[in-house]
């Protein structure tokens, strides 16, 4: 990790200079949303100060400059994901929007209908559960769930059994890349290969993976991959749906309006080519430009070095917290991004409230994973989630705050 200067890096995040309740801020809620470096804040501001214009159809200077910046952002995202082509990158408002888009077009196209099966896991965020439930209600398909082991890892034996049980009806497998609740990393190569052999399409929720891992979606051979910018140092309201080009070309549009058309008449409408077929209306131009800037920021840092730094922190935090009496950690030993825990006899909300008073920001609750919490017989956890700018001092402050809060609540 030579060259990874976390002190210099922290100086690039203005919000870290803030105090909370008179204490220096320790921000450990990055799985919910990450903080933004100055370069991303500047990109957002510069767009509105220098380029602000609607894109694609204007002939004037600002329209052309804004269009070029927006489409360059698409190129940047495609390169970052190692997509096969820029046409495979669809801008959305976030992961939830991307999943709903896919659910809608699979339903409209008739690819999923009565008697078909959709397979998800017990680790999924509600955003990768509810859209499929809605599709099942509309289409007459059924939803099946892959269970998880006690350590929060996917039960692969059950996964393969479910593939066999539904080999004649399985149409889609929709899974998270990394659990937002437990930090579990799914074995995607195995899952995708087996799902394809069973004749199913695969969608992966990459919201928690893109900030931490090098992406190569062509090598992964995934059909759809979705993520949100705001968890990867970009603003809220921007995200990406990646889809294999031939697949996207075969599917109908979701929303109607400007940009997704070639020709409109009262007799009928001809739809635009990819990627614009799925981008109705004025897009989040500033968001796309800032997202590209955020991905460039990550690439300049070196994602492998970022991952190594964060992995060391999360291991240190797990070891330190497990030494506090009554603490139970959830998830596997080899986590990425998030560390979930509870303290025996203390409600997670009460503990999280006291941590906040000490300047430590963590997330409490079910983390939009109520079925997963029910599997473990709990209502929620405390979740500390890490980013490139966190350091050993943050881990120490977290552990000290937990010890102090536990002593106060017992």
Mind telling me the catalytic residues? 368
How far CA 268 is from CA of 271, 280, 358, 395, in Å, comes to: 10, 17, 62, 60
8 A C-beta contact, residue 252 and residue 313: no
Instruction: Tell me the longest C-alpha to C-alpha distance in the chain.
Output: 73
What is the three-state SS of the chain?
Answer: CCCCCHHHHHCCCHHHHCEECCEECEECECCCCCCCCHHHHHHHHHHHHHHCCCCCCCCCHHHHHHHHHHHHHHHHHHHHHCCCCHHHEEEECCHHHHHHHHHHHHHHCCCCCCCCEEEEECCCCHHHCHHHHHHHHHHCCEEEEECECCCCCECHHHHHHHHHHCCCCEEEEEEECECCCCCCECCHHHHHHHHHHCCCEEEEECCCCCCCCCCCHHHHCCCEEEEEHHHCCCCCCCEEEEECHHHHHHCCCCCCCCCCEEEEECCEEEECCCCHHHCCCCCCHHHHHHHHHHHHHHHHHCHHHHHHHHHHHHHHHHHHHHCCCCEEEECCCCCCCEEEEEECCECHHHHHHHHHHCCEECEEECCCCHHHHHHCCCCCEEEEECCCCCCHHHHHHHHHHHHHHHHHHC
- Give the span between the Cα atoms of 397 and 175, in whole angstroms: 34
Give the list of residues 6+ apart from residue 176 with CB closer than 8 angstroms, or none.
121, 123, 124, 125, 128, 186, 204, 205, 207, 208
What does each C-alpha distance from 212 to 120, 156, 194 come to in angstroms? 23, 24, 25
Torsion from C-alpha of 304, 309, 313, 319, nearest 10 degrees: 70
């Amino acid at each position: 990790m030579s060259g990874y200067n976390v002190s210099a890096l922290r100086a690039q995040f203005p919000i870290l200079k803030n105090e909370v309740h008179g204490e220096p801020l320790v921000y450990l809620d990055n799985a919910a949303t990450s903080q933004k470096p100055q370069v991303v804040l500047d990109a957002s501001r510069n767009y509105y100060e220098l380029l602000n214009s609607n894109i694609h159809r204007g002939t004037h200077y600002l329209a052309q400059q804004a269009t070029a910046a927006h489409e360059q952002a698409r190129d940047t995202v495609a390169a970052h994901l190692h997509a096969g082509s820029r046409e495979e990158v669809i801008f959305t408002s976030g992961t939830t929007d991307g999943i709903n888009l896919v659910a809608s077009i699979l339903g409209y196209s008739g690819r999923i209908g009565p008697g078909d099966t959709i397979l998800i896991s017990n680790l999924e965020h509600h955003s990768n559960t509810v859209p499929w439930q809605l599709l099942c209600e509309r289409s007459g398909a059924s939803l099946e769930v892959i269970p998880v082991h006690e350590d929060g890892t996917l039960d692969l034996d059950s996964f393969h059994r479910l593939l066999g049980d539904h080999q004649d009806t399985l149409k889609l497998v929709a899974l998270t890349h990394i659990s937002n609740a437990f930090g579990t990393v799914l074995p995607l190569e195995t899952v995708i290969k087996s799902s394809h052999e069973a004749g199913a399409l695969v969608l992966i929720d990459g919201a928690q993976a893109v900030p931490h891992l090098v992406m190569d979606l062509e090598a992964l051979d995934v059909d759809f991959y979705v993520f949100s910018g705001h968890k990867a140092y970009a603003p809220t309201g921007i995200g990406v749906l990646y889809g294999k080009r031939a697949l996207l070309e075969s599917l109908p549009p979701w929303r109607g309006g400007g940009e997704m058309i070639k020709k409109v008449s009262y007799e009928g409408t001809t739809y635009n080519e990819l990627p614009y077929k799925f981008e109705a209306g004025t897009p989040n131009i500033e968001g796309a430009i800032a997202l590209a800037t955020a991905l460039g920021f990550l690439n300049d840092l070196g994602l492998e070095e970022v991952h190594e730094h964060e992995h060391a922190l999360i291991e240190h935090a797990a070891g330190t917290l497990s030494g506090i009496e009554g603490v139970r950690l959830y998830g596997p030993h080899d986590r990425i991004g998030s560390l979930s825990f509870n303290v025996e006899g203390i409600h997670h909300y009460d503990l999280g409230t006291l941590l906040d008073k000490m300047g430590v920001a963590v997330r409490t609750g079910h983390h939009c994973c109520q079925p997963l919490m029910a599997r473990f017989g709990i209502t929620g956890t405390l979740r500390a989630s890490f980013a490139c700018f966190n350091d050993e001092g943050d881990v120490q402050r977290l552990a000290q705050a937990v010890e102090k809060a536990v002593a106060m609540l017992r």
